[in-house]
Amino acid sequence: MAHILITVSEFPKVTETFVLSNALHYQEQGHRVGIFHVKPFRDAEVVHPHARPILQAGFTFGWFDRRSAAALAAETLRAPHRVLGLFGQIGAAFWREPKRLAATLALFPKATALARHCRREGVDHIHAEFAGYPATAAWVAAKLSGVPFSFSAHAHDIFLTQSLLVTKATEASFVRAISHFNRDFLARIDGFPADKICVLRCGVSLPQEVPVPDLQAGQPLRIVFVGALLPRKGVDVLLRALSDLPQGFEWSLDIIGGGSQDASLRKLAATLTLKNVTFHGPQSSDVVRAAMAEAHVVVVPSREGEGGRSEGIPVVLMEALSLARPVITTRLSGIPELVEDGVTGLLCPPDDVDALRAALLRLREDYPAARAMGRRGRERVAEDFDITKTADALLTRILEV
């Protein structure tokens, strides 16, 4: 039995269900699991019922409370050259990025407390689920405790900045990329140890197959969007695409999720006089799955966000295809590795209103073909994105260290 520690930025987080699913899988295999979250516990987060048992595995330390301050002092006395060396590496990596430098230095006392926790609790391996601050915390804790560490590369955690990334990768046991797109991106970074990269997917649970609803002539096309209401999700593109569909094209749109764009998107829908749009806010997994089960199509119109923020392979696409629902999404990052245009779904260029509208028309005109794509999508998920397989693959790699 191994003691595995997972590091994340925020916990629990509905958009990172794979973290909880992986932790549950490790526990089911008889391993001891802890989840260190950099930021405070998210009390208001909607937690899926199946994941609630893992919440007790989460913990953190204060930014500079009694424990973290004592840990920093003790580690500095125990290994002053090592601590100063870590400070020097951080400063050299981020001197041109003062905000990230300040955030990383603020994290340092917590990371030293994490190192003491790892030694005291007999942690065997630290795995950071994200290459940014979680990997930095894991790197510091590993350097001070002697426990091996690894990290996952998902999306904007590697796109926004590459500072310190080569250092962390060089000292990690392995680097897990969730897509071939990410693997290739990392391998192109000067000095990055490409031989340490392994492509291991994220995944979702594969539910029992539920028949896809029929779409009769004149029946409204039921469209569902699930995700955070943020600029990079492209919901405004979907609303604009719906605003100019041909007369007689009946539809309804359910938007599930919350975020900074909630008010502006509601205003846009009103401005475009879109009367068949319903904003539901954040919902539990049961509600989300029920909405997908009743949908004719799930649309994920992602775009690249500010500063390079981007999707990896959105979990919502995996979930929709696990139910064999037709999907429309964009050619972005690793998405085409799951959604192959015309095979497991329809792809559009990001930010292309006309292309998204054309995809909706194509789906409506030949819905049997769309249903066939959904079925093939489910087969793709079962083969490459089943959480049981993906979590086991990552666990196997961790245990090999």
Q: Are residues 293 and 167 in the same domain?
A: no
The Cα diameter of the chain in Å comes to: 76
Residue 305, pLDDT score: 79
Which residues are paired to 158 by β-bridges?
A: none
pLDDT at 396: 97
Structure tokens at 93: 């990596």
- Considering the domain architecture, whether residues 89 and 235 belong to the same structural domain is answered as no
Asked if the structure places residue 30 within a domain, the reply is: yes
pLDDT of residue 123: 98
Amino acid at 92: A
Q: Per the structure, how many domains does the chain have?
A: 2
What integer pLDDT is reported at residue 22 of this predicted model? Answer: 93
Q: What is the pLDDT of residue 46?
A: 63
pLDDT at 54: 84
Residue 343: strand, helix, or coil: coil
Statement to judge: residues 240 and 193 lie in one domain: no
Q: Is 323 exposed, middle or buried (0-12, 13-18, 19+ CB in 10 A)?
A: buried
Cα–Cα distance, 354 to 25 (Å, whole number): 43
Residue 352 located in a structural domain: yes
Does one domain contain both 199 and 241?
A: no
pLDDT tens by residue, 105-155: 999 999 999 999 999 999 999 999 999 999 999 999 999 999 999 999 998
Main-chain dihedrals φ then ψ at residue 197, nearest 5 degrees: -85, 135
Regions of the chain short of the pLDDT cut 50: none
The verdict on residue 44 lying in a domain is yes
197 and 105 housed in the same domain: yes
Q: What is the DSSP string of 49-114?
A: GGGGGGGGGEE---SSSHHHHHHHHHHHHH-HHHHHHHHHHHHHHHTT-HHHHHHHHHHHHHHHHH
Is there a single domain that holds both residue 112 and residue 254? no
**Do 12 and 71 reside in the same domain of the chain?**
yes
Residue 75 is part of which domain span? 3-203+387-400
Whether residue 353 is contained in a domain is answered as yes
Q: Do residues 30 and 93 both lie within one domain?
A: yes
Q: The domain that contains 155 carries what CATH number?
A: 3.40.50.2000
- Shared domain check, 365 and 333: yes
Euclidean distance between the first and the last CA atom of the chain, given in angstroms as a whole number: 14
Cα four-point dihedral sign 314, 320, 323, 324: negative
Q: Are residues 97 and 126 in the same domain?
A: yes
12 to each of 18, 217, 309, 352, 377, how far by Cα in Å?
A: 11, 43, 21, 34, 28
* Burial track 65-93 (b if 16+ CB lie within 10 A, e otherwise): eebbbebbeebeeeeeeebeebeebbeeb
Same domain as 260, residue 320: yes
